[in-house]
Amino acid sequence: KDITIATLGSHTALHILRGAKQEGFKTAVVCEEGKDVPYKRFGVADEFIYVDEYKDIVREDIQEQLRAMNAIVVPHGSFVAYAGLSNVEDKFVVPMFGNRDILRWEAERDLERDMIMNAGIRMPRKYDGPEDIDKTVMVKFPGARGGQGYFICSSFEEFQEKIEEMKSRDWITDDDVADAHIEEYVVGTNFCIHYFYSVLNDEVEVLGMDSRYETNIDGIVRIPAADQLEANISPSYVVSGNHPVVIRESLLPQVFKNGDNLVASAKELVKPGMNGPFCLQCLVNDDREIVIFEMSARIDGGTNSFMNGSPYSYIQFGEEMSMGRRISREIKNAIAEDKLEDIIT
């Protein structure tokens, strides 16, 4: 029976589904009423499966519907966030593109750090406690809340002052303070680099890059410095959009080396390793070092910046290759080579 490429209606579903159609697959989207608008208006989905809440994608009857259409589900950031990581690991039995065991490694900050450091890739220095702060640091709190309450400080005294102020405004709790993650503040420019590791070809491809457009930090910088002090606004880093970007060409050897090393590291730590899209979020400092502060071990939202291909995917493929289409191309090639089992879990 024909395969249907399916995903949850959010995040990167537009080009996952459009790319699947370009490669000749049928498509399905799991959606809440009202959130189907982009998939209808852009005409990328053949089938709509409606749920009351996105987390219902792990419900048994929904899984049955997906299995009945011989679906391969492409997991993205919202899929994991809404379905819940443990549900994806334990309860979701529909075939998924990629290695589902690797998702936990990007979700937990310590595991993520282990995998990136094991690859020999430079990360921001991590501080054991606020007493050790000896230069500008960024203080992060657990839980994905878009960097709400993250702050920058340069000494133990300043750390304490800011913590007290944030507690008095009820932005953070004592538990948050105990779990605070303190890391070196890297002054540099942001690049989120979107890779695809083809298991079939055993090769890492660089498909595109974006930088983030974040509220309210990108709004704050439009206020003159004196007024910023007066306004005393707490920064947040909620992604509201993405800019396509290219990196200076002399940095590309480092870009490829990082991708190759991460794939080697993943192979060692979580068998069978990386499979398909991943993203390294980095800052390039003025020593032209690429410093990685975060990774996604699945398709990242910034791939939306190249739905019709990027300069890099054009160089590689000579056609309009989005990340979504690249996934379906891999599935198509695997079917032709009778290796589908190698790329789904």
Query: CB-wise, 186 or 193, nearer to ligand ATP?
Result: 186
For position 324 contacting ligand ATP by CB under 6 A, the verdict is no
- Provide the terminal-to-terminal Cα distance of the chain, rounded to the nearest Å: 19
Contact call for residue 171 and ligand ATP (CB under 6 A): no
The residue (of 184 and 330) whose beta carbon lies closer to ligand ATP is 184
Q: What minimum distance in Å lies between the beta carbon of 325 and ligand ATP?
A: 24
In whole angstroms, the minimum distance from the beta carbon of 300 to ligand ATP comes to 8
Per CB under 6 A, the list member of 176, 183, 218, 320 interacting with ligand ATP is 183
3-state secondary structure 256-302: HHHHHHHHHHHHHHCCCCCCEEEEEEEEECCCCCEEEEEEECCECHH
**Look-up: residue for tokens 């410095």?**
225
46 and 28 in contact (C-beta within 8 Å)? yes
- Scanning the structure block, which residue is given the tokens 């891999």? 330
Q: How far is the CB of 227 from ligand ATP (least distance, A)?
A: 22
Residue environment code for 144-167, b if the CB has 16+ CB neighbours within 10 A, otherwise e? eeebbbbbebeeeebbeebbeebe
Q: In the numeric block, which tokens belong to residue 341?
A: 């089992």
CA pair distance 128, 130, nearest whole angstrom: 7
- Size of interface with ligand ATP, in residues (CB under 6 A): 17
Q: Does 237 bind ligand ATP (CB under 6 A)?
A: yes
Q: Which of 78, 14, 41 is nearest to 325 (CA)?
A: 14
* CA dist., res. 195 & res. 297, Å (int): 10
Q: How far is the CB of 204 from ligand ATP (least distance, A)?
A: 22
Q: Of the two residues 44 and 292, which places its CB atom closer to ligand ATP in the complex?
A: 292
CB 220, min distance to ligand ATP, A? 13
DSSP notation for 143-199: S-STTTT-EEESSHHHHHHHHHHHHHTTS--HHHHHT-EEEEPP-SEEEEEEEEEET
Minimum CB–partner distance for residue 151 and ligand ATP (Å): 11
Structure tokens that stand for 219 in this block: 């709004």
289 binds ligand ATP (CB under 6 A): no
Residues of this chain, 94-153, that bind ligand ATP according to CB under 6 A: 124, 138, 140, 144, 146-147
Stretch that binds ligand ATP, among 10-18, 89-97, 184-192, 218-226 (CB under 6 A): 184-192
Taking CB under 6 A as the binding criterion, the range among 21-29, 185-193, 222-230, 310-318 that sits at the site for ligand ATP is 185-193
Interactions with ligand ATP, residue window 187-216 (CB under 6 A)? 190, 212, 214
Q: How far is the CB of 90 from ligand ATP (least distance, A)?
A: 23
Question: How would you class 47 by CB atoms within 10 Å of its CB: exposed for 0-12, middle for 13-18, buried for 19 or more?
Answer: middle
- Residue closer to ligand ATP, measured from CB, 4 or 304: 304
79 near ligand ATP, rule: CB under 6 A: no
Q: Should residue 286 be labelled a site residue for ligand ATP when binding is judged by CB under 6 A?
A: no
> Which amino acid, one-letter code, is at 285?
N
> Which residues contribute to the site for ligand ATP (CB under 6 A)?
124, 138, 140, 144, 146-147, 183-186, 190, 212, 214, 237, 283, 293-294
